[in-house]
A = this chain, B = another copy of it.
Amino acid sequence: MAGRNLVGPKADALDLGAVFRALADEHRRSVMTQLAADRSDSERGCNSFDLPISKQTQTHHFRVLREAGLIDEIDYGNRKGIRLRRADIEKRFPGLLTLLGEDSPGGTAPR
């Protein structure tokens, strides 16, 4: 059964504000970092990210990422696939995905 691809903005319509808002959250950034690290861009299940939050909150976060245009969500009914929109992101905001890999090597940020 081919799942339906849930709607998101077209590549040209990606909004930098929405992207930064999406990436401002630690959990969403974690998802994006894991996706960006896999150069094969294979489809992943949404429970493969080991997020320490409830199902409902995960649904919320994936929706935010999709509406920002960062991922595709493929709906299989009782299952969901996640795929990084690498080409669109690189076309509109080249270098953005590379930045996600630069996340705090030194760690302890002063608050």
Copies of this polypeptide in the complex: 2
Task: Give the interface size class of chain A.
Answer: 20 to 34
A36, chain B: closest CB distance, angstroms? 12
Nearest CB on B from A1, distance (A): 29
CB contact between A24 and one of B17, B94, B103 (< 8 Å): that residue: B17
A52 at the interface (CB under 8 A from B): no
The answer to whether the Cβ of A95 comes within 8 Å of any Cβ in the partner chain is yes
Residue on B with the closest CB to A21?
Answer: B24
Question: Is the beta-carbon distance between A98 and B99 smaller than 8 angstroms?
Answer: no
A-side interface residues toward B, CB under 8 Å?
9, 12-13, 15-18, 20-21, 23-24, 26, 29, 92-96, 98-100, 102-104, 106, 108-110
